[in-house]
Structure formats: structure tokens, C-alpha cells
Amino acid sequence: MAPGVSPLAAPLVAALTATLLASGCAGSGVAHFDQPGFGVVFSYPSQMSLHTDVRTSTQTGDLAPGDTTVAVALDEYNLITISRHTLRARVTSTNLDQAKPEFDRLITQLAPTTAAGAPVQHGGLPGLEYQFAVPSPATGQSRYTILFDGDTQYTLDCQSTTEERTQVNQACDTALNSIHRR
């Protein structure tokens, strides 16, 4: 673990040039994310394909057994990665302000010029949301939302290029507005 990072930190995974290997079906309408190992479900546009074998180019923190990442994607650069990580401590709405500085520090490892995270709540889960540019592709942007369910962290990284930003942002809004515990 990096110096100065407390044991609370779970890995923060960014789909900075994600490699998508195993695909699901795509179509029109709405699809539902309901994957084994994830304690949350949500809706997303069915023109995005589910990918269960996702490799990311950047991560901070340590992986724990059972940590996993999947994605729903339009293509390699326009996607939502969904990660599940086990934390070493519980994060709730009552202690989110204490955990926030640590997550702010970790996010700056992914994107050094990122502003501090904004507190959010989706589906009854407290969280933090960040926005930052990604190094590849040149016009890439990430809307990085971390949600906490006790000692479990769910991260939705909505990454887009300029050309598909509106569509990915709408998909991200659909996912975040519909997310809830199983």
C-alpha cells in the first residue's frame, strides 16, 4: 500500500483504456445489471453490452479476495465500469466526512488535478463523486462515483469521449438513478 494511505482504502479502479473481453447482448430499450457477487442492481440502456472480463490500466490500493470489475459499454472508450471492493472499515453517511479526505487523496493518484469529491447519495447508499480527464483517449472524461454499503464499496466509472459524452452521461444518470440494494 502506498505511504500515507490508511487501511480503510480499497482499490480505486479506473477504466483508463479498459480492455473488454467477454460480451453480453446488446439491443434497444433498457437492460438490468444483476450480476453475481454484486449486492446492487440497476438499469442501463440495452444498446450497451455487458462485459464480464475487464482489465484496467490504472488502479490504486490493494485488491481483496472477491473484488471484481465488470462493464457495460458502447465501445472501448465509452463505458461504465462497475467495481465491487471490500473495505477494511465501514463507511456510512455518518462517517463519510471522515473517509472523504482519504478517497480524495487516492483519486489524485488517478488524476492529479481532480477537485475534491462531492458527497452524493444514490439508492440509499452514501458516496462521493469526482469528474476528471483521462489520458487516453485525448478527449476522455470520467465521472467517477463511489457508493458505500457498509464495508463494501461500489464504484461506477462513467467514461466517455466527446463524441459519445451525452449518451454515456445519460446512461450514467439512468444507472445512478435506478441503483439499489438487492
Residue 40 pLDDT greater than 60, yes or no:
yes
Q: What per-residue confidence (pLDDT) applies to 8?
A: 47
Q: In terms of Cα–Cα distance, which of 137, 139, 142, 181 is closest to 17?
A: 137
Q: What is the mean pLDDT of the chain?
A: 83
Q: What per-residue confidence (pLDDT) applies to 57?
A: 52
* Residue ranges per structural domain of the chain: 12-181
Domain 12-181 fold is Protein Transport Mog1p; Chain A (3.40.1000)
State how far the Cα of 137 lies from the Cα of 161, in Å rounded to an integer: 7
Q: What per-residue confidence (pLDDT) applies to 48?
A: 97
Q: In terms of Cα–Cα distance, which of 18, 14, 81, 23 is closest to 52?
A: 23
Least trusted range by pLDDT, from 6-10, 46-50, 79-83, 115-119: 6-10
Question: pLDDT tens-digit profile of 92-142?
Answer: 999 999 999 999 998 988 887 777 899 999 999 999 999 999 888 889 999
Q: In terms of Cα–Cα distance, which of 24, 60, 21 is closest to 44?
A: 24
> What pTM does this model have?
0.83
Q: In terms of Cα–Cα distance, which of 77, 78, 89, 68 is closest to 13?
A: 68
Classify burial at 128, counting beta carbons within 10 Å of its beta carbon; exposed 0-12, middle 13-18, buried 19 or more.
buried
- Distances in Å between the alpha carbon of 169 and those of 135, 143, 151, 173? 19, 8, 28, 6
Question: Residue 57 corresponds to which cell in the numbers above?
Answer: 490500466
Residue 172 pLDDT greater than 60, yes or no:
yes
